[in-house]
Amino acid sequence: MRYPTRLSAAVAASVLVASALTVLPAAASAAPAAYAYRAVDLGTLGGAASAATATNDRGTVVGWSLTADGSRHAFVWRNGVMTDLGVLPGHVESSAVDVNERGDVVGTSTGPEQITRAVLWRNGQMIDLGTLGGDYSEAVAVNDRGQVLGLSNPVTDIPHRVVWQEGAITDLGRQDFYELTTGFNNRGDVVGTFNVPPYDYPCTCVGGRLRDGVVTPVGDQATAINNLGHVVGVDGGRAFRWRAGVLTDLGTLGGATSRATAVNDLGVVLGSADTAAGARRPVLWWAGHAIDLTAHGLGDTDAVNDLDIRGRLVGSRAGRATLFR
């Protein structure tokens, strides 16, 4: 979910009150309101399993599902209908990883020898985004400008970070071993894990934001960024949010560790955290609160991967793609 907003604090609060989980600002309430999410099974493409990976603010959900013959195919779910997005000619599997507000879907199509190609589904067409000359590419995210972030390899090199737009491919430089590319926003900022000086073996890795060719270190691992430039991830084993140059520890549910994995444009952060008893729980962080989602209708084993501006969550329950709203 990547959609810009300039809502005032009052409007933001009203949106959240109407959303799936009502959380009042800290000044107005010392604790989140009691609300139970309802789980909506999005179904499959005829097979036994599926999972939702991303959503936009219009309620479009994407992910993957097994088909009746056991193949994995990308899907898009809109208005209660799951649609098979198919595979490239000669390929056997595909998966969707992101969707923007225009309805562009990106993901990867896989050939019979596990050779993958980044693909864009737009206006009913499946587009092979191409490579830097090698045989590999992979999509990571798409922003509302239609730019696709991903990876591709030149003929004689390891993968590079790249951005595709309107048929052109821009090389952002090598992704060294142990580096990761995880997120993208409308500004074109890239987040992930970067190898920085002194480049010790195997990796002097830090979380970071790549903007206009310059890496700004942010925590140990940066996992997502919103359109306001807020970065979330993990630092010292605990979830953080970084904004305006300040890194804030988001805390846990009483245990030792936590992890932030997504952030919407109201600054609500999604992730997971340990309890004092050592149980791992899905969590939302908002207005200084760490909200245990198992107290609001989710289970310990539910997977949650993304959220929209209304607080709806997508992921999986019992091996099937699920919308929590």
CA quadruple 292, 101, 224, 14: dihedral, nearest 10? -40
**Confidence tier at 32 by pLDDT (50, 70, 90):** very low
Quote the pLDDT of residue 34.
61
Quote the pLDDT of residue 69.
97
**Confidence tier at 112 by pLDDT (50, 70, 90):** confident
**Confidence tier at 3 by pLDDT (50, 70, 90):** very low
**Closest to 272 measured CA to CA, from 303, 247, 315:** 303
| Cα distance between residue 9 and residue 27, in whole Å | 12
pLDDT at position 4 over 50: no
**Closest to 50 measured CA to CA, from 69, 75, 78, 87:** 75
The predicted-structure confidence for 130-179, as pLDDT tens digits, reads as follows: 999 999 999 999 999 999 999 999 999 999 999 999 999 999 999 999 99
Quote the pLDDT of residue 8.
34
As given in the structure block, the two tokens for residue 200 are: 């010790």
The predicted-structure confidence for 248-280, as pLDDT tens digits, reads as follows: 999 999 999 999 999 999 999 999 999 999 999
Alpha-carbon distance values, 307 to 9, 48, 83, 222 (Å) = 19, 25, 21, 17
| Cα distance between residue 3 and residue 100, in whole Å | 8
Taking the complete model, does pTM exceed 0.85, yes or no? yes
**Confidence tier at 33 by pLDDT (50, 70, 90):** low
Amino acid sitting at position 187: R
Q: What share of the chain in percent tops pLDDT 90?
A: 87
The predicted-structure confidence for 276-307, as pLDDT tens digits, reads as follows: 999 999 999 999 999 999 999 999 999 999 99
Average pLDDT, the chain: 91
Q: What share of the chain in percent tops pLDDT 70?
A: 90
pLDDT at position 17 over 90: no
Quote the pLDDT of residue 35.
79
